[in-house]
């Protein structure tokens, strides 16, 4: 093993997000570009040729004047309203124009965008009336609209308005005795249509999103709307923030029926990536709002997967873990499973095969989820003992996510930390001689072995003499290397990392502080160190504070160091910063540091400044004591 390369993860926790994004992007490209409200000749030609794409069902497009009208409605919504009365009047007027052609408006691009923006301004009853017209008699038109690339967004937006019914129903409880509201009835109607056509809905790229939103609404939790995400923009959030709301009793039973129908079609979840995303959503929302139902669904899912036929002596799970569609479902199952199910999966299906799965380009992701889930249980030491045997092979395969997660689970569980550190030292060729160990930090961050980082071998294979640590500047900091060191910084024994950090030159420390990945490493080491250890790090940073304050990333590291520093350490930092007052006050990043550190007070009212900082320090210490 010579060189560990950084390899980006090919997929994340939620398969549906990436998959659906590609399909939505591809959707419009299949369709010939036609301007909204184009000439009559174009419309006649389209009518003769039949429907433009699957899901529109041969629907006519809005005429030019109608398209212009709904475009102006969107512009008016951008301007806002001076009072509620004017807004209500405007909404009623627009809905009057929609009546009689709601389905046509919903499936037109301009009309769809305008309706999506209008529905949050409508009352729940008005939203219900729009849904009733879109769905037609007995919901017969729901499937066509939901499976349309424009209409599906309108139905999703209408479903999301159900969260506002909880507030209004509390004020009008006496009026609800006559039966369900209009919107509630339409949601139940849509649920019935989905159950009757479940295979078509969950396998359709647009219809599946409607089903997923329906699952959220029926359980009483909503994430951010899908329409807010721009195509091609990576979602930086680790997990979408959910908002809970009260649901009517009818939704409780409807969710049970829908879950049962989905389980009867679970075979689709292991062959179709779009359907797999629906099952992942069902398990996720049930885990949040209906844990008992989630436990049953997880058990039934695993029983189904384990019951499939495979080669003699081979668990079917080993096959599903290596499949693009089913592996995402298994990731979700592993994340949400309770200990008994995890123990059964490992003992009866994965034991002895964990390293080979970690080397697989797809199966290594479920193994990461298993490692994370096992950290809270006694299962982790056994899983660790098996995985640690293949660390060098996993590194050579470039599956750094497995190694990072293993280190993070060691930090979380508090177990196997010494073994993890020793294994990494050997893997990066810096365990022996012991003098090499102080160079471990730049090796971990760059994912390079000692031989490669310090260029000890020439092209002819000759061995050069050992270099001094200061002779090689810090380079090649990578994302996974940063994540690895951040996990190691949470270990109980981190003196080796701190000793390695102190061998870096001030220039290297500034490089680390101003690097997108390296800044997180320096921040983690400073904030987790003891007061004495932090003081040694800050001593090495002297002379770099002004440059750090003027750096976008370095200023954040400096603020984190300030927040964890003692008053005497803060005073040393402030003393250096005030010498560059004019530079700091004029810099776009440093001026925030100047204000946050109250450096004007430090210059002119030092006793008062010290009193304030002492009080803040005591508050932080008290708060940390409460948390610990």
3-state secondary structure 327-373: HHHHHHHHHHCCHHHHHHHHHHHHCCCHHHHHCCCCCHHHHHHHHHH
* Exposed e or buried b per residue across 547-572, where buried means at least 16 C-beta atoms within 10 angstroms of its C-beta: bbbbbebbbbbbbbbbebbbbebbeb
**Do β-strands 221-222 and 243-244 pair in parallel, antiparallel, or remain unpaired?**
antiparallel
Q: Within 13 A of 602's CA, how many CA atoms are on the CB side? A: 20
Q: Tell me: pLDDT of 184 over 80.
A: yes
CB-count burial class (<10 Å; 0-12, 13-18, 19+) for 199? middle
Q: Tell me: pLDDT of 174 over 60.
A: no
Residue 434 forms part of a structural domain: yes
Residue 603 forms part of a structural domain: yes
Count how many domains the chain has: 1
Helix (H, G, I), strand (E, B) or coil at 238: coil
Instruction: Specify the pLDDT at position 175.
Output: 45
Residue 493 forms part of a structural domain: yes
Question: How large is the average pLDDT for residues 612-617?
Answer: 82
Name which residue leads in pLDDT, 13 or 208: 208
Count of helices and strands (H, E) across the chain: 39, 2
Name which residue leads in pLDDT, 179 or 163: 163
Q: Tell me: pLDDT of 85 over 80.
A: yes
pLDDT digits (tens, 9 = 90+) for 512-559: 999 999 999 999 999 988 888 899 999 999 999 999 999 999 999 999
Domain extent, residue 485, equals: 428-627
Mean of pLDDT over the chain: 84
Instruction: Specify the pLDDT at position 181.
Output: 86
Question: How large is the average pLDDT for residues 393-407?
Answer: 95
Q: Tell me: pLDDT of 468 over 70.
A: no
Question: How large is the average pLDDT for residues 156-183?
Answer: 69
Closest CA to 501 of 522, 518, 532, 487: 522
* From 222-231, 372-381, 399-408, the region with the lowest mean pLDDT: 222-231
Q: Count CB-CB contacts under 10 A for residue 280.
A: 24
Question: How large is the average pLDDT for residues 402-414?
Answer: 96
Question: How large is the average pLDDT for residues 328-355?
Answer: 93
Residue 440 forms part of a structural domain: yes
pLDDT band at 417 (very low <50, low <70, confident <90, very high): very high
Residue 544 forms part of a structural domain: yes
Instruction: Specify the pLDDT at position 409.
Output: 96
Q: Tell me: pLDDT of 87 over 70.
A: yes
User: 221 forms bridges with which residues in the sheet?
Assistant: 244
Residue 531 forms part of a structural domain: yes
Instruction: Specify the pLDDT at position 308.
Output: 83
Q: Which residue shows structure tokens 């729940």?
A: 124
Residue 249 forms part of a structural domain: no
Rounded Cα gap, residues 423 and 489, in angstroms = 16
Instruction: Specify the pLDDT at position 62.
Output: 85
| pTM for this model (two decimals) | 0.80
Residue 610 forms part of a structural domain: yes
Instruction: Specify the pLDDT at position 617.
Output: 76
Q: Tell me: pLDDT of 225 over 60.
A: yes
Q: Which residues contact 372 (CB under 8 A, 6 or more apart)?
A: 335, 405, 408, 409
pLDDT band at 612 (very low <50, low <70, confident <90, very high): confident
Rounded Cα gap, residues 18 and 10, in angstroms = 10
Q: Tell me: pLDDT of 233 over 90.
A: no
Question: How large is the average pLDDT for residues 126-155?
Answer: 92
Question: How large is the average pLDDT for residues 284-309?
Answer: 92
């Amino acid at each position: 093993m010579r060189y560990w390369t950084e390899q980006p993860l090919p997929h994340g926790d939620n398969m549906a997000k990436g998959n659906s994004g590609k399909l939505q992007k591809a959707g419009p490209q299949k369709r010939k570009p036609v301007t909204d409200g184009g000439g009559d000749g174009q419309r006649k030609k389209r009518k003769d040729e039949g429907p433009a794409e699957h899901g529109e069902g041969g629907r006519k497009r809005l005429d030019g004047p109608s398209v212009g009208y709904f475009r102006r409605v969107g512009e008016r919504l951008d301007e806002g309203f001076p009072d509620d009365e004017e807004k209500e009047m405007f909404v009623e007027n627009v809905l009057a124009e929609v009546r009689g052609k709601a389905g046509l408006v919903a499936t037109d691009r301009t009309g769809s965008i305008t309706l999506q923006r209008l529905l949050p301004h409508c009352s729940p009853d008005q939203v219900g009336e729009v849904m009733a017209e879109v769905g037609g008699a007995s919901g017969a038109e729901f499937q066509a609209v939901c499976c349309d690339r424009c209409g599906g967004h309108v139905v999703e937006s209408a479903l999301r308005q159900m969260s506002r019914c909880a507030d209004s129903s509390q004020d009008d409880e006496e009026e609800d005795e006559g039966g369900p509201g209009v919107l509630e009835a339409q949601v139940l109607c849509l649920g019935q249509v989905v159950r009757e056509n479940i295979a078509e809905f969950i396998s359709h790229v647009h219809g599946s999103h409607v089903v997923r939103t329906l699952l959220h609404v029926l359980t009483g939790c909503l994430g951010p709307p899908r329409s807010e995400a721009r195509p091609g923009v990576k979602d930086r959030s680790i997990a979408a923030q959910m908002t809970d709301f009260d649901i009517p009793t009818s939704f409780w039973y409807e969710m049970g029926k829908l879950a049962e129908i989905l389980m009867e079609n679970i075979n689709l979840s292991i062959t179709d990536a779009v359907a797999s995303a629906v099952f992942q959503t069902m398990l996720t929302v049930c885990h949040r709002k209906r844990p008992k139902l989630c436990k049953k669904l997880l058990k039934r899912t695993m029983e189904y997967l384990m019951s499939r036929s495979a080669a003699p002596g081979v668990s079917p799970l080993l096959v599903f873990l290596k499949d693009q569609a089913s592996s995402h479902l298994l990731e979700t199952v592993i994340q949400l499973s309770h200990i008994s199910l995890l123990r059964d999966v490992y003992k009866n299906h994965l034991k002895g095969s964990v390293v080979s799965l970690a080397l697989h380009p797809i199966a290594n992701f479920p193994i990461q989820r298993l490692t994370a889930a096992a950290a809270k249980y006694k299962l982790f030491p056994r899983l660790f003992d098996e995985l640690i045997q293949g660390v060098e092979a996993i590194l050579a395969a470039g599956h750094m996510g497995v190694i990072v997660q293993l280190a993070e689970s060691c930090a979380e569980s508090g177990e196997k930390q010494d073994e993890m550190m020793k294994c990494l030292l050997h893997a990066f060729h810096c365990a022996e001689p012991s003098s090499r160990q102080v160079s471990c930090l730049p090796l971990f961050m760059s994912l390079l072995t000692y031989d490669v980082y310090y260029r000890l071998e020439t092209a002819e294979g000759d061995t050069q003499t050992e270099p001094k640590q200061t002779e090689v500047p810090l380079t090649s900091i990578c994302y996974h290397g940063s994540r690895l060191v951040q996990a190691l910084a949470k270990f109980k024994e981190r003196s080796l990392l701190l000793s390695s950090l102190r061998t870096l030159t001030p220039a290297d420390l500034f490089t680390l502080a101003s690097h997108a990945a390296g800044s997180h490493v320096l921040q983690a080491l400073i904030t987790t160190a003891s007061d004495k250890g932090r003081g040694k790090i800050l001593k090495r940073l002297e002379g770099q504070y002004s440059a750090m304050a003027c750096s976008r990333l370095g200023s954040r590291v400096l603020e984190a160091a300030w927040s964890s520093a003692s008053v005497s350490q803060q005073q040393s930092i402030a003393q250096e910063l005030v010498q560059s007052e004019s530079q700091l006050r004029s810099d776009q990043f440093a001026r925030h540091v100047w204000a946050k550190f109250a450096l004007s007070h430090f210059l002119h009212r030092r006793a008062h400044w010290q009193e304030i900082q002492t009080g803040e320090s005591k508050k932080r210490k008290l708060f940390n004591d409460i948390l610990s």
